[in-house]
Amino acid sequence: MTTWVFCEEQNGAPSASSLELLTKARSWGDVAVFYVGAGSDEAFAALGEYGATTIHQLDAGDALPAAVAAAAMSDLVAADDIALFGMGYTARDVAGRLSARLGCTVLSNATDIDLGGDQVRVSNEILGGTTRVITAATEGPVVVVVRPKVFAAEAGEGAIPPVTTVAVPDVGHAGAGTVLERHVEESEGPDLEAAAIVVGGGRGMGGADDKWEPVAKLAGLLGAAVGATRAVVDAGWVPYSLQIGQTGKTVKPDVYIACGISGAMQHLVGMKDSGLIVAINKDAEAPIFSIADLGVVGDVHKVVPALIEALEAR
């Protein structure tokens, strides 16, 4: 059995999710990385350090890579193999296409994977994280899409693995899409997905600009990243890149401060594994208090300015 880890190159480096998956998979034995991108000695060395024993590299240039990557991967993945994917757009696209080519199921949204006996057991959470489902795959290959940050990426001591170049297969019209332009959203402060402290704002902030300002100010004083609910993003107060939750980012900071957030399950799945959760909401019955370690029942426009004042007075 070989474990495959899908890795899409991002800014010249392996994706964060591939390093998390390698850390989990390396204790199972051989781990082959299917790498999509131009590649470099540094990127391959990092993959080796995190546990890759071989790398198969496909450089699709400016072509949309999912169709060709899935076709090439389907020739490599054997019947008793496991293929692990993160939740990036390309990764999910490849996982779906690969499962169709291999005639196997995709187990998605995984929060844990356990190899025991002749079964691969994959956990995922449903109903806003209140119920855990364990699915046992008795036949391979097994394609699993894993949620971000469920495994912590930890470097090991592996050397640079051998790298094999994979030819770009001809997939006809499916491979005709081309990337014309890449847009990098400008952001200030710490990276939301890596920040140790996140201040999240919800509809309870009441609006953009002046109304939103306390969230940004509190985050600035704490060296925190700013996050938001979908309600706030849909209202156009902040960009989508700040959205936390089921259809946004997953964060796992040491401290999450929720300001005017009700705690809908679609938001909770993106932040409930934070270390310490502080909630400020004027409604004592708000669901966010059910997962908060510390709760303040009050108006965000009184509580947050008071917090800012106390921090500024330090």
Ligand X SMILES: Cc1cc2nc3c(=O)[nH]c(=O)nc-3n(C[C@H](O)[C@H](O)[C@H](O)COP(=O)(O)OP(=O)(O)OC[C@H]3O[C@@H](n4cnc5c(N)ncnc54)[C@H](O)[C@@H]3O)c2cc1C
**What does the alpha-carbon distance between residue 53 and residue 72 come to, in Å, rounded to a whole number?**
19
Given the complex with ligand X, which of 158 and 227 has the nearer CB atom? 227
Least Cα distance to 17 among 149, 122, 192 occurs for 149
238, 240, 245, 248 alpha-carbon torsion, rounded to 10°: -160
Q: Does 101 bind ligand X (CB under 6 A)?
A: no
Site residues for ligand X, window 145-204 (CB under 6 A)? 202-204
Q: Give me the least distance between CB of 188 and ligand X, in Å please.
A: 21
109, 115, 118, 121 alpha-carbon torsion, rounded to 10°: -30
Site residues for ligand X, window 220-259 (CB under 6 A)? 229-232, 243-248
Q: Give me the least distance between CB of 245 and ligand X, in Å please.
A: 2
Given the complex with ligand X, which of 202 and 253 has the nearer CB atom? 202
Given the complex with ligand X, which of 96 and 305 has the nearer CB atom? 305
**Do 288 and 258 form a contact (C-beta atoms < 8 A)?**
yes
The single residue listed with the structure tokens 């019209």 is 173
3-state SS class at 83: strand
Q: At what angle do helices 66-74 and 89-102 cross, to 10 degrees?
A: 40
Given the complex with ligand X, which of 97 and 230 has the nearer CB atom? 230
Q: Give me the least distance between CB of 118 and ligand X, in Å please.
A: 36
Given the complex with ligand X, which of 78 and 126 has the nearer CB atom? 126
Number of residues that bind ligand X (CB under 6 A): 27
Given the complex with ligand X, which of 52 and 231 has the nearer CB atom? 231
Environment class of 236 (CB within 10 Å of its CB; exposed 0-12, middle 13-18, buried 19+): exposed
**Do 293 and 253 form a contact (C-beta atoms < 8 A)?**
no
Figure out which of the listed residues 286, 291, 292, 307 binds ligand X, where binding follows CB under 6 A.
286
Contact region for ligand X (CB under 6 A) — 32-40, 85-93, 154-162, 277-285? 277-285
Q: Which residues bind ligand X (CB under 6 A)?
A: 202-204, 229-232, 243-248, 260-262, 264, 266-267, 270, 281-283, 286, 299-301
